[in-house]
Structure 1
């Protein structure tokens, strides 16, 4: 079931487009030394955005003060906009019964896109 939902996600849920966007964003961010931590978070979002079904987001144990500062910077610069775009897509997909599983995945991506530092993706 997970394989079928992931294939439908890539084709109809926008998974391939999300993957390309996060991948290009991560590559552009990694061109600068300051942007490397943010680029790595984009890569995390890219792989979750490509095949989200069957994956969970977990908090890493122990609060890292540097991660908290990076999360604040991420939220101010890009996180809120990415969060709102995923939330808008989720609301649009939740209108139909068939789109509800895809809407749930967009909400999962939105929560990770809001503050990605200190979180990890588990299969």
Structure 2
């Protein structure tokens, strides 16, 4: 079932989200100072491609630099990404078939708000 949901997600939403996060990651890596944000964007892009069967886990050993980076990310991009995920999930909830896609879109909010110090792991 996860594979079927992932394929449907990939076709209708995942590819576009992943491309957006990958483009942001490329821009962040070009601007040398923001490379940690670029790496986080690539991690979110991979999660956006195939979200079913995976979850976000916080790394307790992330340290104070992750905290500072997350604060900067939250102010500059995180809040806007979270709002975008909420807004795009609303139309998905309007159809029965779109409900799992809306849930997957909402699952991206924690990692899009605070990406540094987060790991994406399989649920199994």
Same fold (TM over 0.5): yes
In structure 2, the residue matched to 1:122 is: 121
Report the Cα distance in structure 1 between the residues aligned to 2:87 and 2:107, rounded to whole angstroms. Answer: 13
The within-5 A match list for 1:90-101 is 90-101=89-100
> Which residue pairs with 1:52 in the alignment?
51
Residue in structure 1 matched with residue 33 of structure 2 by the alignment: 34
Q: CA separation in 2, counterparts of 1:22 and 1:98?
A: 25
- TM score, norm. by length of structure 1: 0.94
Q: Confirm whether residue 67 of structure 1 aligns to residue 66 of structure 2.
A: yes
Inter-partner Cα distance in structure 2 for 1:78 and 1:34: 16
For residues 44 and 87 of structure 1, the distance between their equivalents in structure 2, rounded to whole angstroms, comes to 20
Gaps of 5+ in 1: none
SS in 2 for 1:61: coil
Task: Provide the rounded CA distance (Å) in 1 between the counterparts of 2:63 and 2:116.
Answer: 9
Alignment of 1:78-117 (within 5 A): 78-117=77-116
TM superposition shift of 1:97: 1.6
Q: Tell me which stretches of 4 or more aligned residues in structure 1 moved more than 3 Å.
A: none
How far off its partner does 1:63 sit?
4.9
Q: For 1:54-104, what per-residue CA distance to the aligned partner results, in whole angstroms no more than 9, with x for missing partners?
A: 101101123511111100100110111111000111122112221111111
Q: State the distance in 1 between where 2:40 and 2:91 align.
A: 26
